A and B are shown apart, each in its own frame.
Chain A
C-alpha cells in the first residue's frame, strides 16, 4: 500500500524563523511529488518535483526531492504570519494500481506567531 508520512505534525515558530518540513514516501512506481498549502479552504498548489537534487523555488519557499532516500523537504525562510497553514505533501504513481492515485500525507500544521 502506498504511504506518505509528513513530519513534524505541528510546528509553532516566530516571524522571521526558517522552517523545514519533511515528507517521506513509499509508493509503487513513483512519478511525482507535490506540495500544497491549505489555509481555511481548498489546498493550493506550490510545487511539483520529479527529479532528484533539483531545487524548486518560489519566493521564500523552496523544495527538493531525494529519490534515493525517498523523501522531500519544503523550506520556508523568513516566515510571516501569512505562512500559517497546513502544508500537504502528495505523491503520484505511474502504473499498475497507482496510475490514477494521488496519495497524501497527514499534513504539517504550521503556526507563525508575530
Chain B
C-alpha cells in the first residue's frame, strides 16, 4: 500500500532532550515536506526537500533540522525541544514539488502529536 509513515504517533518529552520524528514513504517520491499544525494557524511548513541531499527552509524552520540521505526517508530533528514546539506534526510527500502541478496533491502521514514539558 502506498503510504507515508510517521513515527511515533504520540510523544511526550522534556525540554532540551533531543528527539527525532521519522518519516518514510514507499512511493519513490522526490518531494517531501514537514508541517506543524497549531489551532488557528493552519499548517505551517517547516522544511522541505526536493530530492536526496536537497533541503530548504519553509516558513518556520527555527529549532528544527532535517536530512535527506535517502529518497524514502526525511527525519525531523529537534536538537533541544522547547514547549513552544508542542504541536501536531505532519510529513507529506509528492512525486514532484508544488511548482510542478501534481494533479493528485500530496500524501500526508498520520501525524505525530508532540508535547514538550
Contact = CB atoms under 8 A, between A and B. Distances in A.
Are A and B genuine complex partners? yes
Interface of A: 1, 4, 6, 9, 31-32, 34, 36, 41-46, 48, 50, 88, 90, 92-95, 98-107
A104 B99 CA distance: 15
A103 B49 CA distance: 15
Given A32-B98, A101-B98, A106 B104 contact: no
Interface in B93-116: 97-99, 101-106, 108-111
Contacts of A105: 42
B53 to A, nearest CB: 14
Interface of B: 31, 33, 35, 40-45, 48-50, 56, 58-59, 90, 97-99, 101-106, 108-111
A42 B90 contact: yes
B35 A104 contact: yes
Nearest to A106: B42
Nearest to B102: A48
Given A43-B108, A45-B106, A88 B98 contact: no
